[in-house]
Amino acid sequence: MNRRRFCKTTLAASMAALYPFMAGCEKKGTVATQANTSIRGISLGGAEIELEKAAIRELGDAMTGPVMLSGHPDYDGARKIWNGMHDKHPALIARCQNTEDICHAVDFARERNLLLAVRGGGHSWPGKSTCDDGMMLDLADMKNVDIDAAGQSAWCQGGALLGHLDDATLARGLVTTAGVVSHTGVGGFTLGGGFGRLNRKYGLTIDNVLGAEIVTADGTVRQVSADNEPDLFWAIRGGGGNFGVVSKFQFQLHSFDRNVLSGMLVWPIEQAREVLEFYAEWSPTVSRELYVGPVMATMPDGTQIVAMEVVYNGDPTQGEKELAPLRAIGTMMVDDVKVQDYKVTQTKEDAMTAHGIRSYAKNGMVKEFTQDLVDDMIDAFIPDPRAAIFTHTAGGAVKDHGELDTAFPHRNAETMLVFFTGWTDPDQDAEGKAMCKQWHAALENHTGGYYDNIEWEGDASVVGNYGPNYARLSKIKGQYDAGNLFRMNSNIKPT
Ligand SMILES: Cc1cc2nc3c(=O)[nH]c(=O)nc-3n(C[C@H](O)[C@H](O)[C@H](O)COP(=O)(O)OP(=O)(O)OC[C@H]3O[C@@H](n4cnc5c(N)ncnc54)[C@H](O)[C@@H]3O)c2cc1C
């Protein structure tokens, strides 16, 4: 028996628990030591369970990456996720470094009926990537992106951030649709749909997924694509983390000149009617190259604005022509739309959405940007620097797919209205949440369905929001995760 295999045996694991620094089997940072022989865990159903230290050590020895308990020097950093509202303490954090590690962690959780949270980039608004007393399966070390330039595709590990994906592709003159903040995780972002500034030309991120490697609840590694386990492939394109842990995605890439016409056009809020009324008429006529969407916000100094975010994915001269009618509206405070590196645009919101912010979000899909919507947007405006409405413009290639083609069903929307509140003082939690709900409620009648990835309360209405796709999702869930091990998400119940 080789030394590594020996370390995996129960006998060796028990000995290692007794002698935590046993020469030869100890791996730096595997497990924090405590005097007692078990720690408290929580089951999938919420009951208290005991986790044997020896078994945890066995997991640590089997994995390449560390398993961290409270007291480990990296535990506190690892347990934190983006939204400062969630201060959870998992019983253990399994930081995976490869697919085999994921299998070991999934087996450990399933065999003990242990609550399991999977952390990709940690940006879940409702905090689904962490938990108290369960396992956090942490993919933060799995962030490689391998580019096949000739084949115009990329294999991207499940813990990579959008910035890793953009950096790797842009360096080769290639790109795929990625979201607007570079520290967001590729994992949760892609599994939910993936809206970004290039989606009108290239479709949602899920429309660019060619395949994936996924570890399902039984610990099996599966390669899924249109030809291989097509039902599972369909389900992970919009069904969130319900079906397993994606260790890597394969993305379609597109040739791309990173010098793009992009930036913001900003007007004082007093001109909101003129700007938005024009937008309502003009936006359905623009090309797929043009991504343009409104923002309404209050700056930290109290200045209230209506703005348009612009990215033109094509010849800048043509872009200038197409943008000219919008630029002619009213009197702008700022026009910084110019040819600049796409990476500048893709990172410009990183600082204002930095880790640790306390935040709440809701959204709604809008089929038509009507004059009635404009009226209500103006009436409902909340002049508070902690609140903003922005939009994820859709249409174009997003509509090339039908509502049944992928698990994400909301294909016929022209835009998504996003209601965002953010603050830092915990005493403002109730107010921050209420403000977001109030703004959303005022405009909800213009929306139909929502994008689960930017929604705190998604779990409550998951059945209706998937519309005709829910029954199929539930059946596939039953096939691959009948015990509902992967439940820390907007949960699809297995049938
Ligand atoms: C600042 C900010 C900006 C955003 N911008 C955009 C945007 O431009 N466009 C857009 O579409 N969305 C955007 N979102 C929403 C984003 O898509 C979701 O928050 C998404 O869940 C983030 O993924 P994550 O991996 O970082 O999150 P996590 O919190 O790690 O995970 C979210 C969910 O996905 C699961 N999960 C994560 N990785 C995996 C994996 N590899 N395998 C299986 N399950 C996994 C988790 O278990 C959890 O249920 C933004 C969010 C934030 C906070």
As a three-state string, the secondary structure of 325-371 is HHHCCCCCCEECCEEEEHHHHHHCCCHHHCCCCEEEEEEEEECCCCH
For ligand 1, atom 17: residue with the closest CA: 189
**Position in ligand 1 atom list of the atom nearest CA 454:** 15
Query: What one-character DSSP code corresponds to residue 239?
Result: S
For every one of its 495 residues, what pLDDT tens digit does the chain have, with 9 covering 90 and above?
233 332 333 323 332 332 232 222 334 445 544 446 899 999 999 999 999 999 999 999 999 999 999 999 999 999 999 999 999 999 999 999 999 999 999 999 999 999 999 999 999 999 999 999 999 999 999 999 999 999 999 999 999 999 999 999 999 999 999 999 999 999 999 999 999 999 999 999 999 999 999 999 999 999 999 999 999 999 999 999 999 999 999 999 999 999 999 999 999 999 999 999 999 999 999 999 999 999 999 999 999 999 999 999 999 999 999 999 999 999 999 999 999 999 999 999 999 999 999 999 999 999 999 999 999 999 999 999 999 999 999 999 999 999 999 999 999 999 999 999 999 999 999 999 999 999 999 999 999 999 999 999 998 899 999 999 999 999 999 999 999 999 999 999 999
The rounded Å distance from CA 67 to ligand 1 centre is 23
Our answer on whether the CB atom of 199 is closer than 6 Å to any ligand 1 atom is no
Q: Ligand 1: does its nearest atom lie under 6 Å from the Cβ of 214?
A: no
> What residue's CA is closest to ligand 1, atom 28?
122
> How many Å lie between the centroid of ligand 1 and the Cα of residue 334?
32
Mutational pocket test of ligand 1: of 95, 96, 97, 124, the residue with most ligand atoms within 8 Å of the beta carbon? 124
CA-to-CA distance for 474 and 79, rounded, in angstroms? 30
Q: Which residues of 50-84 are buried (b: 16+ CB within 10 A; e: fewer)?
A: ebebbbbbbbbbbbebbbbbeebeebeebbebbbb
Identify the CA nearest to 367 among candidates 441, 447, 278. 447
CA of 117 to the centre of ligand 1 (A): 13
Cβ partners under 8 Å of residue 315, min gap 6: none
Instruction: Decide: helix, strand or coil at residue 64.
Output: coil
Contacts of residue 287, Cβ cutoff 8 Å, sequence gap at least 6: 314, 322
**Prediction pTM value:** 0.94
A 10 A CB-CB count for 154 gives 26
195 lines ligand 1 (CB under 6 A): yes
Sign of CA dihedral 168, 173, 174, 178: positive
Atom of ligand 1 nearest to the CA of 159: 41
What are the φ/ψ torsions at residue 385 (nearest 5 degrees)? -65, -10
What is the position in ligand 1's atom list of the atom closest to the CA of 118? 47
**How far is CA 125 from its chain centroid?**
9
Question: Ligand 1, atom 51: nearest CA belongs to which residue?
Answer: 123
Spatial separation of the C-alpha atoms in residues 247 and 356, rounded to whole Å: 26
Strands lying side by side in the sheet with 209-215: 145-148, 153-157, 245-252, 209-215, 221-225
For the CA of 117, the closest atom of ligand 1 is 47
Interval between CA 119 and ligand 1 midpoint (Å): 9
Please give the radius of gyration of the chain, using alpha carbons only, rounded to the nearest integer.
Answer: 24
Q: How far is the CA of 337 from the centre of ligand 1 (A)?
A: 29
Ligand 1 mutation pick, 79, 123, 484, max ligand atoms within 8 A of CB = 123
Q: In the prediction, which pLDDT does 37 show?
A: 87
Q: What is the atom index within ligand 1 of the atom nearest the CA of 353?
A: 1
- Residue 118 Cβ inside 6 Å of ligand 1? The answer reads yes
Tell me, using a 6 A CB cutoff, whether residue 489 lines ligand 1.
yes
For the chain, the first-to-last Cα distance in angstroms comes to: 43
Instruction: Give the residue, by CA position, lying nearest to ligand 1 atom 36.
Output: 188
* 261 CB near ligand 1 (under 6 Å): no
Of all atoms in ligand 1, which is nearest to the CA of residue 161?
Answer: 26
- Expressed in angstroms and rounded, the spacing between residue 464 Cα and the centre of ligand 1 is 21
- For the Cβ of 488 lying below 6 angstroms from any atom of ligand 1, the answer is yes
- Please work out whether the CB of residue 128 comes within 6 Å of at least one atom of ligand 1: yes
Q: Is 200 in the pocket of ligand 1 (CB under 6 A)?
A: no
- Please give the domain boundaries of the chain with CATH numbers for all domains: 3-138 (3.30.43.10), 145-255+463-480 (3.30.465.10), 259-459 (3.40.462.20)
> What SS3 class is residue 422?
strand
Q: Which atom of ligand 1 is nearest to the CA of 204?
A: 11
Distance CA 275, CA 332 (A): 10
Which ligand 1 atom minimizes the distance to the CA of 247? 41
